[in-house]
Every structure is written in structure tokens, then in C-alpha cells.
Structure 1
Amino acid sequence: MGAIAASLARVDAGVSWLRVLAAAPDDRSGWVRCSDLLADPLRLVDWQVEVADAYGGGDDNGRLTGAGLVLDWYLGAVTLPAAGIFHLDRRVPSLSPDTMLLRLGPGGTVVAVALESSAFRCLVDDPATDEAALVAADLGELATGLRTEVVEHAERLLAAYAPTTRIGRHGRWGAVADALDVAFLTGGWVSGDRARAAADARLVLGDGVGHLVGGSTLHEIVDDNGNWHWTRRRYSCCFVYRAPVGAVCVTCPRVSDEQRRHQATGWL
């Protein structure tokens, strides 16, 4: 097993809601190559409609819930492997849409992602430097590499996505920053070191570099029982609150700090 495949396997073993694979299986049923999806915006529209129907009962005004969730799920599948590997192994995989595939499940959810390219970046002291396409001199340079991979993929995604939705530019790029934050927090759950994962998120997001709308919002809160939890505040909106059975999520900027602490009381 190559270095990047081994890193992907570590991420895959730590999450239950998304399979993270180094290659798609021979049976490609339900799989779509990212570049093929982005080349046909009508497929993005069909995906939004499927999700809108699943969450909005066919009455999702403007498909905003569908558009918001599809954007979140797509970006989550791209950023989770990348941020997870960065956090766990200090490596950065290639995120080219040409070498990434998604598998869609019931209701349009993303249930698996495959990264076919074995190319990656790593630090100079990584034992797998002989396999790496690029070697970074320090962690800051590696973080820049991760940010570049994510932004370049996001540029292609959002260029295709913009004509299909009423979500504005700030909201679309806000979703990219949000996805990175979630991915790092997930990496922290896998490693058991959420404080270091939050530090990684701050390093990669900076103060909002280039298209990214802001820095990491990961922070700790204390609930009504005095227990501490990691959470965040979104830049973008998933629009789930618009669905008939929807509610404002705890990360929504509409939620006050007091409400957030109260909601966290029921968390594990």
C-alpha cells in the first residue's frame, strides 16, 4: 500500500458516515467523476432537486435547501480526506476533480469519495518523501499546499455551481471555509486531539486568504452542566431551516451564544 493510500485508510477507519477510498471499486454504480459532474451543470440541478425533494417534500422554494446541502456535501467529501490526512500524517493529497469520484446514496447524500491520484505533498522528514510529488520545507508551506488544492478544486466547482443557484458568491465561498473547519474538527475526533486540529484549521484558513471569506471559527463552549464542547459558527447557510421538518442548526450565525450553550447540553 502506498503512502497516500495508507493515510486515506486511516481517515476511512475513523469516520462512519463517509467511505474514504484510494480507488473506486470495479462496480461504478452510483459513482460519478467530479470533473464529469462539473462539466454538466444539469446534473448538479438534478442533484439539487433530488435533495430538495428528500428534505422539502417537493415544496422547497427556490431549491435553496437542496442547493445548500449539495454544496455542503460535495465540499465535505473533498475537504475531509485532505484535512484529515494533513492533521493525522502531515500529508496533502491531490484534489484534482479529474482524479476524484463521489458515490451518491439515497436522497442524494454523498456516501463515499475516492481519490485515484497517488500524488501528494509532505514534509522533509516524512519517511515517504521518495513517493511524494512535492516536499514542503515546513508546516506553513504544507498548509499553503492544502489551501491551494482545496481552492483550485473549489474554483472549478463554484464556476459550474453559480449558474444553478441563488446562493451568492460570499455564501458559496463561505461554504468552502465551513467545509475546511468541519473537516479539521472531524480529524480531531479521529485523532482525539481536537485542540491541535483547531490549530491546524487556523493555520490553513489564516484570516481568510484569497477567495476564502474568513478564518477558522472553531472554538470551545461550556454547556449548562459545565461540560466543554468544540463547535463552530458558519459563514454560509445550509438552508435546512427552510425545510418543513427543518430547524436552525447549532452552528448557524442566527443562534446566540446562550442558545448554543443550551443546545450543547444534550451533546455527548
Structure 2
Amino acid sequence: MISSGPPVPAAVRAANPLDADYRRLLDLCPVLRVRLLADDEPAPSRLQGWYSAAELAGDPEALADSLAGEAARIAPVAAGYGTSPRPHVVASRLLHHYLWSVSVLIAGPWYLARRVPLIGGADLWMHAATGDLALRPRAHVTLAGEDELRAELRAAVVTHVEPLLTAFAAPARRGTRALWGMVTDDLASAIWYLGRMLDATHPAGEAGEAGEAGASAAARAAATVEAVLGGAVHGPAELRAVFTEPAGARSGAAGGEGESCAAAGAATRALRAEEAARPGPSEAAPHPATHEAAAVAAAGAVLPGHTEPLPGAADFRLLRGEDGRAHHTRTRLGCCLYYAIQPGNACLTCPRTADEERLRRL
């Protein structure tokens, strides 16, 4: 496999309305490892293991190298659980990483600034050895009508990922409907994630930009947020460490989706303690003014069902614990195969995970 080369060099970037959106998004989402490129900046080098979305979709060698990189990232984690994921698990995990990441990159500016980026296959790259991304922002769509803009969001995601689904179908051993179900799941998850991270850094009712305290809250929140949303072991070293440290050893960052149940529970309890310390009445259900509640509503409006080729709905619901507190949840349309890496530890949105188990972990 081609080894990792030096980082993509930085350059002075030309003004683009998306620039500020992406700076805010990357500050908000510490798990998203993306380098932004200017129009005149050289593309990341294939010789250093970088492949564009178009290359991943159309070049079997590029896809094979990227799958080998994902297998290498998964291997030490899986070995700790006595497993050796089969090739279709590796392919599903890599596709999940890509779909979730590109969903955040497209839905983020839409959610934060009502701009839908149009990301071409030649403008987004993934590094085979690390799973990191590089993006050259270009055009975007802004419309007055909310329904029309939501349709543009769905179309932008569908247009970008469709060639990749064709390329991943055989190695992931998934049919067309199952693949589009993954897209639906990861788009819903991405919007939900944005709301949770906004709550972590900009609690509802508080003014001002997030400072160091907000960034710290985002790092602490990432483990909880991603455990709730699903599971992934791709990504930078600090994210993979979540899976290799003893359960409960840390409550820090997690990436894509997921971590150990004990660590997730510890992070959740820490966040709940912070919430309880804030002034104001205790709420038995998610406060209607929280960013998470707004994001859940937004995801439901984007994915109401019957928006082919996206086969299902966001379909969020509330679970109420014994303490009366309510938690947003949903059930994925298809399994992300996280349990195949950590047996017996399916993610919290997995069809395999009953509501009773979700509440126990939370």
C-alpha cells in the first residue's frame, strides 16, 4: 500500500462564501479531518496515497488501496476483541466513513448558513492510509423556499455518492436499496450530529461564539454524540484510541460514530452533570429550544420518507428513562456492521439494539 506522504500544503485561499461556513463547521466538528484547498492550489498527490471521489468510483486500484488502508486501521482494534473482520465488513465500514463525512460536508453549510455545496467527484479526496479528507469548495445553491432547498440538499448528496455506491456494491456485498439506506442513515446522522455539537459548544439561550470552553465541551461531547449515533473505527489516531483503551478509561473524542459502552456512559454522565449545573429548571424531556431538538426536526423534514432513491425516513423518536429524562433516538435502516469489530457491542442506533438496551447504556 502506498505510504502516507507529507500533509497537503496550505495556501492562501480565494474568497468563497463557503469558506466561512467550512471554518465554522470544522471548529464545531472536531472529528471531521478535512483540509480545505484553494482553487489554484495543487490537488493532493495520488503518489502520496490521495484519491479523489471520482478515482475511488472509477479506478479499482484506488479503491483497493483505500480498502487496504481501512483494513489496517481496523486490524489492531479488532484484534483486541479476537476478531478479524471480513472484506465486506471493511468495505462497509469505509463506505460508512465516507458517506457520513460527505453528508456533514454538504449538510453542514446548509444547516448553518442555508447554502448547499455542490461537491464534484474531482473536488473531494480521501487519503488511503489515514481516511483523512481534502476538499476544494466551489459552487453552492441558495434558494428562498425551504422545501426547495431541502430538495437541493438531497440531490447534492445523491449526485455525489451515486458513483461510489456502484463501486462499493460488490466489495460491501450490499444491494442497491441497502446502499441507499446507508446514505439515508448517514445523512440523518450528520444533521443530528450538528445539533448535538451545537448544544455542546453553544447551549441554547447563550450568546456568543464558542471559545476554549466550547472547544473543550465539543471534545468531551464527541464520545457521547458518536456513541448515540452509531460506530466507526476509521479516522485519526485520537479517535481510534477510544477503541483500544480500557472501557471507561476516557470520555474524550470519538469519530464517525461509536465507542465502548462504558466510555459512552461515562461521557454521557459527565455531560448530564454539566447540564444539571446550568441555571434554569430541570426538563423531563429535551427542551424544544435545544439545538439537538431543532436538528432532529430538520432531519425529519429533509428525510420524511418516499424521497427516492433515499428509501426511508429519519424517523426519530423519544425514549424516556426511569428518571423521566427523554432521549432522541432512531433505528438505522441497515446495520453498519460495527458489531463485527466489537462483538456484542452493536451501536446505539442498530436494528439489533433494543430500546431497553439503549436506555441502559444512556
| CA distance in structure 2 between the aligned counterparts of 1:113 and 1:195, rounded to whole angstroms | 31
Q: CA deviation at 1:178?
A: 0.8
Query: Equivalent residues in 2 for 1:26-65 (5 A)?
Result: 28=45, 29-53=48-72, 54-55=74-75, 56-57=78-79, 59-61=84-86, 63-65=87-89
Give the 3-state SS of the residue equivalent to 2:122 in structure 1: helix
Range with bigger deviation, 146-155 or 233-242 = 233-242
Q: 1:224 to 1:21 in 2, by over 3 A?
A: farther
- Give the secondary-structure state (helix, strand or coil) at the position aligned to 1:250: coil
Q: Judge conservation of contact 2:316–2:330 (CA < 8 Å) in 1.
A: yes
Distance of 1:223 and 1:40 partners within structure 2: 49
After TM superposition, give the deviation of residue 222 of structure 1 in Å: 2.8
Q: Which amino acid aligns with 1:167?
A: R
Q: Distance in 2 between matches of 1:222 and 1:41?
A: 47
Q: Is the 8 A contact 2:22 2:109 kept in 1?
A: yes
Is the alpha carbon distance of 1:244 and 1:46 closer, same or farther for their aligned partners in structure 2, counting shifts above 3 Å? farther
Does the alignment pair 1:202 with 2:300?
yes
Distance in 2 separating the partners of 1:89 and 1:76: 20
The equivalent of 2:115 in structure 1 is 91
Note closer, same or farther for the CA distance 1:21–1:204 as it changes in structure 2 (3 Å cut): farther
Q: Report what 2:24 is aligned to.
A: 10
In structure 2, the partner of 1:133 is none
CA positional deviation for 1:105: 4.9
Structure 2 residue corresponding to 1:118, chosen from 125, 138, 163: 138
- Whole-angstrom CA distance in 2 between matches of 1:32 and 1:49: 13
Q: How far has the Cα of 1:195 moved from its partner?
A: 1.6
Shift of 1:150: 0.6
Q: Deviations over 1:2-49 (max 9, x none)?
A: 211111111101011113443177665443211112111343234334
Measure the CA separation in 1 of the matches of 2:311 and 2:60. Answer: 24
Q: CA separation in 2, counterparts of 1:263 and 1:111?
A: 30
CA contact (8 A) 2:118 2:138 kept: yes
* Cα displacement (A) at 1:154: 1.9
- Structure exhibiting the larger radius of gyration computed from Cα positions: 2
**Count of aligned positions:** 246
Give the Cα–Cα distance (whole angstroms) in 2 for the partners of residues 199 and 244 of structure 1: 32
Q: Are the equivalent residues in 1 in contact too, given 2:119–2:138 (CA < 8 A)?
A: no
Instruction: Describe how 1:102-113 pairs up with structure 2 within 5 A.
Output: 102-106=126-130, 110-113=131-134
- Cα RMSD for the two superposed structures: 2.3
The structural deviation recorded for 1:83 is 1.1
In structure 2, what is the equivalent of residue 256 of structure 1? 354
Aligned equivalents of 1:35, 1:246: Cα separation in 2: 36
Q: Which moved more, 1:67-76 or 1:24-33?
A: 24-33
**Secondary structure, in 3 states, of the residue corresponding to 1:101?**
strand
Q: Which residue of 2 aligns with 1:174?
A: 181
Q: 1:44 to 1:188 in 2, by over 3 A?
A: same
What TM-score, normalized by structure 2, do the two folds share?
A: 0.62
Q: Which amino acid aligns with 1:199?
A: A
Instruction: Determine helix, strand or coil for the equivalent of 2:311.
Output: coil
- Residues 8 and 20 in structure 1, CA contact (< 8 A), matched pair in contact too: no
Instruction: Give 2:149's aligned amino acid.
Output: L
Q: SS in structure 2 opposite 1:234?
A: coil
TM-score normalised over the length of structure 1: 0.82
- Which string of whole-angstrom CA distances, capped at 9 and with x for unpartnered residues, describes residues 91-133 of structure 1? 1001221222223554xxx33341x1321011xxxxxxxxxxx
Deviation at 1:244, TM superposition (A): 5.5
Deviates more, 1:218-227 or 1:148-157: 218-227
Counterpart of 1:145, as a letter, is: E
Give the match for residue 94 of structure 2: 70
Q: Any gaps of 5 or more consecutive residues in structure 1?
A: 123-135
| d(CA) in 2 for partners of 1:97, 1:172 | 18
User: What is the one-letter code of the residue matched to 2:133?
Assistant: A
> In 2, Cα distance between the equivalents of 1:19 and 1:156?
23
Deviations 1:47-83 (A, max 9, x none): 334434524448323x232122111001012110111
Aligned to 1:221: 319
Sequence identity percentage: 30
Tell me, in whole angstroms, the C-alpha distance in 2 between the residues paired with 1:182 and 1:207: 15
Partner AA of 1:39 in structure 2 = G
- Separation in 1 of the partners of 2:66 and 2:148? 36
Q: Distance in 2 between matches of 1:155 and 1:236?
A: 18
**Partner-residue secondary structure (3-state), 1:98:** coil
Structure 1 segments of 4+ aligned residues over 6 angstroms from their partners? none
